[in-house]
Amino acid sequence: MRVVAFVDTSEQLGELFLRVVGRAKASLAELLALPVRATVTALLTCDPVDDAVRLAATGVSEDWFHGLVLATGLPPADFARLVRARRHGGTVGVAVARAPLTPDPAAMAAARTALADPDNAGGATDTARPLRLRAWRNRLTADDEGIQIRLGTDNRWHPYTREDGGATAEWWPCAPATADAVAALVAARTAATRRR
C-alpha cells in the first residue's frame, strides 16, 4: 500500500494517522493464512482511539498530541486522562479509565478487609479514624480524602485522585497500578497530598 499525502495542520496529520492505521489493519488481515489470522486479529483489535492513546503515551510532540486529540474527536481532557491511564496501567489502565467493570466479588471483599485493618493505615494521619470506603462496581472510593482505587481485569489496583474542578471535579489516574490494594491506596493518598 502506498500513501501519499500532504499535511498542512496537526488535525490533518491525526486524520491521516487514523486512516493509515485502519487500512493497514485491513490489509494485514487479508494477507494472513486462516490459522494465523485469529492470532493476529486478536493483536489488531484496538480501535483508532486506543491506537491514538497508545501513540500519545509514548511521548509524542505537542503538535502530534493535539493532532491525535482532534482526530479522535474526544474532549482534550478525556484524551489526556486516557493517555495518563495508559502510562500508569497499560491497556487495562485505559479500560479501567473508560468504564466501570464488574469485578470478582471475592477480590473486592478481600481488598475491603485489607483496607479496614488498622495495621494497614497507609500513612493516614489519624489512625483512630476508620477509613470510610464507598464501593461501586470495581471502585473503592474514600470521598472525604478525594481518592479512589479501581480494580482492573488484570487484578491490579489503579490509584485515582479527584482533581479540582469544583462541582465538576473528575477522577484522574495518579500512580502506577499494583496488585496490592493497600499499596494502591497509599499511592493515591501520596498523590493527593502532593497535589494540595
All cell numbers assigned to 41: 486479529
Q: What is the pTM of this model?
A: 0.75
Pairing outcome for strands 134-136 and 139-142 = antiparallel
What pLDDT score does 17 carry? 64
| Residues of the chain below pLDDT 70 | 1-46, 121-129, 165-167
What pLDDT score does 16 carry? 62
Q: What is the pLDDT of residues 108-127, one digit of tens each?
A: 999 999 999 887 755 544 44
Burial 51-76 (b: 16+ CB within 10 A, else e): bbbbbbbeeeeeebbbbbbbbbebee
Beta strands per DSSP E along 26-169: 134-136, 139-142, 147-151, 157-163
Q: Is 112 within 8 Å of 158 (Cβ atoms)?
A: no
What pLDDT score does 164 carry? 75
